[in-house]
A and B are shown apart, each in its own frame.
Chain A
Amino acid sequence: MPSALLLIWTTAWVLVAVSCCALGALIVARLAREREERNHPNRRALVSKALLNYAFAGGETPSLPVARRAERQVLIDVALDAALILRGPSKTRLVELLQALGLDRELRRRGRKGSVRDRVTALESLCLFPDAQTIAVLCAAEQSSDLRIWLTALRARVELGVGPDISGLLDLAGRSGASRSSTMHDLVTARARENLHEALRALNGDVSVPARALLVRAIGETGRREALAPLKTALCHPNPQVRSAAAGALGALGYAEAADALARATCDGDWRVRLKAIEAIKRLGLGFDAACLKPLLQDRIWWVRFRAEEALRGLGEEGDALQPAASSQIEVISRSALR
């Protein structure tokens, strides 16, 4: 069958041609880049010097090359580094210069389209240019299906002071994967710190389970006494995800008045709640009846036993008194002290 043979050889030759072309293109591109670097060895340093001089001293607008993408990229990189360390009038001058060079337009364009990395970096950087066009780009980016893109846009909008309130954030936390994100946690925590009453009102509202757990954790981070009672109530929520978040939040809140509720939570039917309660007890330290931890040394879940023993050691003399008994009860976990 000559046709099959022909097909094999044709495929082989096509592959040879494609490989050679790809390699040739790579080498040519690399040579061009090397040449560019040879011609402009100090571009980054020169741009940095010009930008900082202008930002600190003002004066005549420096003429910086922005015609090519590589040149604009250098300028953006240097400008963003500079913006992080500048404050006050110097920063204002720098931002005005970047606007005059059209970098705000470039960043908005990159924020709308491109790779995830480029879009995320551009959206983060747009905080330097707080105007209506930037807000529009951020709002559009929030429609993206990529978690990193829309969360970055949301964080930028919050940083610009035009972000949603806590209820709006909790609605967004219902989107796929968002409630697990550390960015969302930071945003909700910041909002809860700004306005605890609004956060507590939201807790009583209609919120999805993952968002409620997120809110509970955020409230715990505020460290405010007003949060104590609502968190103790959340410890009785029908959903174990919320209950374990509440136990953790009571530990983070740091008030010994949570002792009774946490001790009760160590008997919860769900092991994740028991685990978080133990961790909270360990975190709070003094003021606990260490005996409430003793039954947990025989819990059916290994991780609970492990944490219970760890917590006992942290509870001072009372816990220490239970320790020898604890060690003898656990076969798997043995305490080793090396000298």
Chain B
Amino acid sequence: MSGEIYPDLVVASANVLANFIIGVGVLQNAVYVLLLVVAQRALAAEPPEPRVRTLRRRCAASAPPIALLAPAYNEAPTIENSVRSLLALDYPDFEVIVINDGSKDDTLGVLQRAFALETVTRDFHRTLAHRQIRGVYRSASHDRLVVVDKENGGKADALNAGLNLARAPIVCSMDADSILEPDSLLRAVQPFVEDPQHVVATGGTVRIANGCTIRDGRVVDIGLPRNILAMLQTIEYLRAFLLARLAWSRMGALTIVSGAFGLFRRSVLIEIGGYAARTVGEDMELIVRLHRHFREQKRPYRIAFVPEPVCWTEAPETLAGLARQRARWHRGALETFFKHRAMAFNPRYGRVGIVGMGQVFLFDVLGPVIELAGYVLMPLMWMLGILSLDYFLAYLALTFVLGVAISVGSLALEEAELRRFPKAIDLIKLALAAVLENFGYRQLNSLWRLWGLWQWLRGVQSWGEMSRKGFQPAAAGLVDA
């Protein structure tokens, strides 16, 4: 750095700032490399069982009943197919509870016509607070289906109603518009079967369905999205689930089970008061609260991540939609972190406090601010002659290359153990996406997260408008034969 033009203090401050930004970046990348190693070891030691028949044989006798809780809000175009695919899941004992969360469209009417719903009486304890239930229906044609019609209160409120009504010991929270693979429950329930006394929650992998062929609410042919944003999210999801969540769970520091697909012991959720209604990151908040509850009570417990059960979801394909989603996710992470800030770096909470909340601090609280500060300040400092161009370029190259290497690493994990993408060309496309995401997408992501930070500081609570194309026959890229 040059000290010829500027006072020493300015140069020293710039030095400190530059070193801090670089230090945080290096730490983030180092954590990712560690995650890659842990995830690789975990998958190599316990690769998923490829044969569903073997799984079925192993857990047929000991599979606990599961209640699938599917909150639906304005899902009229897709709800029938979604529910049919849920009813066709391969699991010995389950019940589907669809919670119509005060939809303004004809979601309830579609369900009534498609499944011959009849009004029933169902006794339940209103142990968790939620908005008024207007009616409970059971299908005359499908024994396993229960539909709850309630006033609108949001996803967490709907899930709480479902938790009250459920009778199975294990509940599966999901989005009504997600698609579960037929064997997903069999796979996700394994930790509950293996360690019934300690496992309180398990999560599975969420994948992008854009570009896949969907028929009758089932993914029948896996393909990559044609939309570039969805493609970039595909590699992002691979990194987040196959690498990060698997590794954090192996380290006992998993702080989130996706709201799109997670299994929970019902009694435990009721014990901790169910989902927090006034948050946009109810999935993360729930998991952190579970950790906190069990750590404070000094009770043994386990929250597991199983990489193989797959839930397919539709990714936003427009910048505006993606921006809203990312800002909301970030707001949720910040809400959770600051709500449970007492846990952060607190040895009383063990690994979750130090490692789990530490990574939330590093990646979610500091991450976007530092990254954007880096993008803005580093070139600025170089232009002002404070920062050496050689170092700046070298650091930039290393950061980008590390990002690509980590994405290629998660792709290698996927290919070595799961092999979901059917063609070799898919791997090449995904690798190109891993390179491409460094030029614009990552920076945009940081901006969106910063927007989320701004919303959080202003106390914005809304979910924002969510537009989905739906798994429709007419939807481009989502071919329904």
Contacts and interface: CB of A to CB of B under 8 A. Distances in A.
Given A15-B402, A115-B46, A180-B195, A336 B123 contact: yes
Interface in A168-184: 177, 180-182
A30 B135 contact: no
A186 B125 contact: no
Q: Is the interface of B mostly helix, strand, loop or mixed?
A: helix
A337 interface: yes
Contacts of A71: none
B330 to A, nearest CB: 28
Contact of A30 (B121, B196, B405, B427): B427
B401 A16 contact: yes
A339 B427 CA distance: 54
Given A22-B408, A333-B125, A339-B119, A303 B271 contact: yes
B127 A333 contact: yes
Given A77-B51, A115-B45, A5 B121 contact: no
A338 B135 contact: yes
Interface stretch (A6-14, A52-60, A284-292): A6-14
A294 interface: no
Contacts of B409: 22
Q: Is the interface of A mostly helix, strand, loop or mixed?
A: helix
B62 A19 contact: no
Nearest to B48: A117
B370 to A, nearest CB: 19
Interface in B116-151: 119, 121-127, 133, 135-136
Given A19-B408, A115-B46, A332-B127, A27 B51 contact: no
B457 interface: no
B54 A121 contact: yes
B46 A116 contact: yes
A148 interface: yes
Interface string B395-431: 1011001101100110110010000000110011001
Interface residues of A, number: 48
Contact of A18 (B193, B405, B411): B405
Given A23-B408, A34-B423, A182-B193, A338 B402 contact: no
B366 interface: no
B13 interface: no
B476 interface: no
B28 interface: no
A306 B271 CA distance: 11
B455 interface: no
A19 B405 contact: yes
B425 to A, nearest CB: 9
B165 to A, nearest CB: 9
A93 to B, nearest CB: 22
B47 interface: yes
B367 to A, nearest CB: 21
Interface residues of B, number: 51
A180 B198 contact: yes
A16 B405 CA distance: 7
Contacts of B62: 182, 186
B289 to A, nearest CB: 17
A29 B419 CA distance: 12
Interface in A157-195: 177, 180-182, 186
Interface string B38-75: 00000011111101011001000110000000000000
Contact of A27 (B125, B133, B195, B428): B428
B445 interface: no
B126 A31 contact: no
A34 B122 contact: no
B427 A23 contact: yes
**Centre residue among A16, A148, A182, A333 by max chain B CB count within 10 A:** A182
B415 A26 contact: yes
Given A9-B397, A303-B271, A180 B197 contact: yes
Interface of B: 44-49, 51, 53-54, 57, 61-62, 119, 121-127, 133, 135-136, 193-198, 267, 271, 390-391, 394-395, 397-398, 401-402, 404-405, 408-409, 411-412, 415, 423-424, 427-428, 431
Interface of A: 5, 8-9, 11-12, 15-16, 18-19, 22-23, 26-27, 29-31, 34, 77, 80-81, 84, 115-118, 121, 124, 147-148, 177, 180-182, 186, 302-303, 306, 309-310, 313, 332-339
